[in-house]
């Protein structure tokens, strides 16, 4: 089991705990998806589904730390530690490129959580030898598009309704590091420095 952990705070002062998604997180992930607003669920999955099919859920928790990286942000103030945000990168076959996906509960928008999660997946991708990320997004999802542009994402494909953004991981990490008001991102960078120094990469 991958036992890496990062403790940090959001702009609001709320404490969160970041760790890799585990196979036993199925119920936690299912509840998190159900707690998204209809709009946020549609933006993340391009579907209005509220209950995730078991086959999809199995793929979401099948994290191996090499070809499928995923981190969950858990709210330390709640007794059951609900997942309030998840970011993942799924490697494309035989490539140093991965598909990126991110979602946060609506109550955690504008708290810095999305940038913290992007810093986390960016560091993990760099360690895993993934140098390019691609994310599909609905053209109407202006918040995601704005975030992607700030992080160096460039639109490489658009059919009107859907857009694909590409990120150079090294550039994205540099841009995140240079941002004003690092808040919880500073804790992410410090944690990955510790992981590199003291902990072997554990997959599974």
Cα(100)–Cα(203) distance, rounded to whole angstroms?
A: 19
When pLDDT is averaged across residues 8-15 and rounded to a whole number, the result is: 94
Stretch (H or E) spanning 132? strand 132-138
Nearest to 134 by CA among 158, 107, 166, 110: 166
pLDDT per position as a tens digit, 42-91: 999 998 787 889 999 999 999 999 999 999 999 999 989 999 999 999 99
Question: How high does pLDDT run on average in the chain?
Answer: 93
Cα(88)–Cα(121) distance, rounded to whole angstroms?
A: 7
pLDDT per position as a tens digit, 97-112: 999 999 999 999 999 9
Residue 76, phi-psi category: left (phi > 0), alpha (psi -120 to 50), beta (remainder)? alpha
**CA distances to 32, 139, 160 from 73, in Å:** 11, 26, 32
Which residues are bridge partners to 98 per DSSP?
91, 133
Residue-level pLDDT at 200 = 56
Residue-level pLDDT at 182 = 64
Look-up of token digits 């709009």: 39
When pLDDT is averaged across residues 116-128 and rounded to a whole number, the result is: 97
% of the chain residues with pLDDT over 90: 87
């Amino acid at each position: 089991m991958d036992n890496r952990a990062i403790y940090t705070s959001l702009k609001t002062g709320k404490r969160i705990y970041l760790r890799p998604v585990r196979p036993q997180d199925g119920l936690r992930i299912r509840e998190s998806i159900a707690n998204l607003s209809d709009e946020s669920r549609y933006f993340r999955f391009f579907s209005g589904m509220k209950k995730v099919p078991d086959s999809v859920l199995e793929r979401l928790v099948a994290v191996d730390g090499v070809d499928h990286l995923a981190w969950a942000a858990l709210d330390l103030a709640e007794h059951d530690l609900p997942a309030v945000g998840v970011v993942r990168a799924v490697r494309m076959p035989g490539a140093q490129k991965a598909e990126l996906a991110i979602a946060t509960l609506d109550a955690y928008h504008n708290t810095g959580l999305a940038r913290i999660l992007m810093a986390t997946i960016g560091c993990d991708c760099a360690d895993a030898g993934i140098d390019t990320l691609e994310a599909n997004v609905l053209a109407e999802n202006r918040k995601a598009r704005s975030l992607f542009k700030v992080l160096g994402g460039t639109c490489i494909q658009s059919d009107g309704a859907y857009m694909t953004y590409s990120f150079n991981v090294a550039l994205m990490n540099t841009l995140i590091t240079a941002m004003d008001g690092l808040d919880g991102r500073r804790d992410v960078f410090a944690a990955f420095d510790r992981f590199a120094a003291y902990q072997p990469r554990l997959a599974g």
